[in-house]
Amino acid sequence: MASEQELSTSFIPALYKPAALLPIARHKASLLYLVEKYPVTIVVGQTGSGKTTQLPQYLDQAGWCEDGKLIAVTQPRRVAATTVATRVAEEMRCQVGEAVGYSIRFEDLTSAETRVKFLTDGMLLREALVDPLLSRYSVIMVDEAHERSLSTDVLLGILKKIRKKRPELRIIISSATLQAEDFLRFFAGDEYHPDADSAELGGSIGRIISLEGRMYPVDTLFLESPAEDYVERAVKTVFDIHTQESEGDILVFLTGREEIDRAIQLISERAADLHPKSDSLVPLPLYAGLTTEQQMYVFEPTGENSRKVIVSTNIAEASVTIDGIVYVVDCGFAKLRAYNPSTGIETLTAVPISKASATQRAGRAGRTRPGKCFRLYTEQTYEQLPEATIPEIQRSNLAPIVMQLKALGIDNIVRFDFLTSPPAELVIRAFELLFSLGAVDDYAKLTKPLGMRMAELAVDPMMAKVLLAAPTFNCLSEMLSIAAMVSLQGTVWVQSYDNKKAAESHRRKFAVEEGDHLTYLNVYQAFVTKGKKDSKWCRDHLLNYRAMQRAVSIRGQLKRYLERFGIQVDETLSRQQTVDTSRQPEQIQRCLTTGYFAHAAKMQPDGTFKTVSGGLTLHAHPSSLMFNRKADWVIFHEIMQTGDKTYIRDITKIEKNYLLEYAPEYYKVT
DNA sequence: GAGCACTGC
């Protein structure tokens, strides 16, 4: 028993396990053989197989980096790219940035020495803009491809094209079991033989290889009848585990902050009724909206005679891994974003998870020793779940993707070889928006220079249009700050439980009559003049210091882009112009309208908004300054439906005639 | 009176 305790709270992290002992080691020869012989290798690797850390080293040793070529390993997330690079550098006994490096937005730790490079898949796509055949790389490994993120899917399509022009390129796709054949079929195309012996499915193009993982068995239990209230049921299950099962921490999957807060509350209340001599329960929330510091609590070992209960969103399904979890409680739902092409509105709703998700959640219980997973639904319900989650490319606003593909020289989006094609309505809607912004012409070609430049800017198309229009309105310097702040997506303010009123009064100090965009500008300017080197200043004003630093980086990057286009950003000009303070806000309001005219709404007497067509009732999001304030016409950055309400966020007042002035085609004068 | 998770020179 003592040794088991030691294992689960071991101070020697799993990453120091000798590499030779990893399950992948005995497949080294066959892996290298496959990569040598076939252009595409699909690696089905269970958790802990060592594929991400070992395979790149094998390839390096086998000479794939001779002639100055590099091995790229892509990750869907920034943190993964940095942590894996650090670990591989340790194993290869070098500093990160030497033989092993990583490259993510704002952080490039690579050098002329670098042979193995970890990067986000979005970053590799960006590299394809300047090096369309990705000719620096001899091998490209796409890790976690089964997650089917937007960039992963686009990257796979690009790689398929590149492969035809670069037969010597080696592509490795790491996937979960379920999708391995889909990937192989995609790359093998006509050569895929569905009737062949499974070993020969991929013809001369590729093969699938399976690596066993380091997982302990997980017992899965279902409910006999459906739960009425899964939050309540989750709490009950936590106490059943606590009183009846042996030691080990618990991970509960719920869908959002509200449910999590309620569950934490219930657990705390009922924990008071536990027998005084029994072990204590320590409930901890985990969701992306928490600050990094608040998230760190889930990694701290609890004291003796106590058990952690981590109540989490989907963030713990793939992005965050916590050691010591022995029990998983799965509510069977997750909140998922989807884009409705007929309304142009994003929805965020709780939907049943897929079988693949359920398996992944259960697996979180078997990382340190055999575990148990309690599913708060019946086995029959489980059987009816879809096999896999619908990939993002089939439920997203595709305007940014269309722009990106166009910038990469792929003109015919409809005929582009996607792993799974997006629905036609999504593609049509994207083109309609881009056409209305002037980014594409009647033939769906990128316009010059507007469309071309918009495609290169790393902001959404509406904001890209605004930035490129800003010089005309003499507000480029201001608009750069606004674009950077909007890119932070609502992380500007620190969320505080205790003092909502204090937070509100701090926000009001920066408030500007015209709305959220000018308020952002105010915050940004205050930060760079007063708080740039001072995290205390941010704390005092309940601003998120790291987010603000990020805004500075984003702004700098956007500015460099514009300068590369030959657009001068005169930072002194804007200060001189503040003499004429009455005029500046109007120029910004006008400029915003040139990009956001499709996101216009009119306030109704009851304080809600209606779209121009008049159909839909919109509510100002409570985080907006326009919540509880009077306005007439407004434009907004984002529209999202959650529950039964549709919210707009980042709102600025405008005049109705701006719409007619800057989008006469869109708002035909009647 | 409130939003799942990610990403980009």
A101 sits within 7 Å of strand B by its CB? no
Residue A521 pLDDT exceeds 50 = yes
| Tens-place pLDDT, residues A204-243 | 999 999 998 888 999 999 999 999 999 999 999 999 999 9
- pLDDT digit string (tens) for A602-637? 999 999 999 988 778 999 998 899 998 899 999 999
Confidence of residue A391 (pLDDT cuts 50, 70, 90): very high
Distances in Å between the alpha carbon of A302 and those of A238, A241, A283, A310, A665?
17, 17, 11, 12, 63
Question: What average pLDDT does this structure show over A158-175?
Answer: 95
CB-based contacts of A499, cutoff 8 Å, min separation 6? none
Q: What is the pLDDT of residue A639?
A: 95
Inform me whether the pLDDT recorded for A17 exceeds 70.
no
CA distance A344 to A428: 11
Closest among A322, A195, A191 to A248, alpha carbons compared:
A322
- Predicted local distance difference test score (pLDDT) of residue A61: 96
Q: Give me the pLDDT at residue A499, please.
A: 65
Q: Model confidence over A184-201: pLDDT tens digits?
A: 999 999 898 888 887 889
Please say if the pLDDT value at position A1 is more than 50.
Answer: no
Residue A583: the pLDDT is: 66
- Which of the two residues, A639 and A504, has the higher pLDDT score? A639
pLDDT 10s digits, A559-608: 999 999 999 888 864 554 444 455 689 999 999 999 999 999 999 999 99
What's the half-sphere exposure (Cβ side, CA atoms, 13 Å) at A345?
18
Confidence of residue A532 (pLDDT cuts 50, 70, 90): confident
- pLDDT at res. A582: 55
Whole-number distance in Å between A471 CA and B2 C1':
36
Q: Is the pLDDT of residue A10 over 60?
A: no
Examine the pLDDT at A58 and tell me if it is beyond 70: yes
A556 touches strand B (CB under 7 A): no
- The overall average pLDDT reported for chain A is 90
- Is strand B in 7 Å reach of the CB of A638? yes
Overall residue count recorded for chain A in this entry: 670
Q: What is the pLDDT of residue A304?
A: 86
pLDDT at site A669: 60
Q: What is the rounded (10 degree) CA torsion for A113, A119, A125, A126?
A: -70
Identify whether the C-beta of residue A237 lies closer than 8 Å to the C-beta of residue A266.
no
Q: Could you give the residue range(s) of every CATH 3.40.50.300 domain in chain A?
A: 14-211, 218-392
Strands A600-603 and A633-642: antiparallel
pLDDT, tens digit, 9 for 90 and up, residues A449-475 = 999 999 989 899 999 999 999 999 999
**Is any atom of nucleic acid chain B found less than 7 Å from the CB of residue A76?**
yes
CATH superfamily of A218-392: P-loop containing nucleotide triphosphate hydrolases (3.40.50.300)
Measured CA to CA, the distance from residue A6 to residue A4 in angstroms comes to 5
Task: Starting at the earlier edge strand, list the strands of the sheet with A280-286.
Answer: A218-223, A371-378, A325-330, A249-253, A306-312, A280-286
- 8-state DSSP, A198: G
Residue nearest to nucleotide B5 (CA to C1'): A315
pLDDT at res. A576: 45
Vertex A596, ends A666 and A644: CA angle to 5°? 100
Of the candidate CATH numbers 3.30.1280.10, 3.80.10.10, 3.40.50.300, 2.40.50.100, the domain formed by A14-211 belongs to: 3.40.50.300
Q: What is the pLDDT of residue A3?
A: 37
Closest residue, CA to C1' of B7:
A122
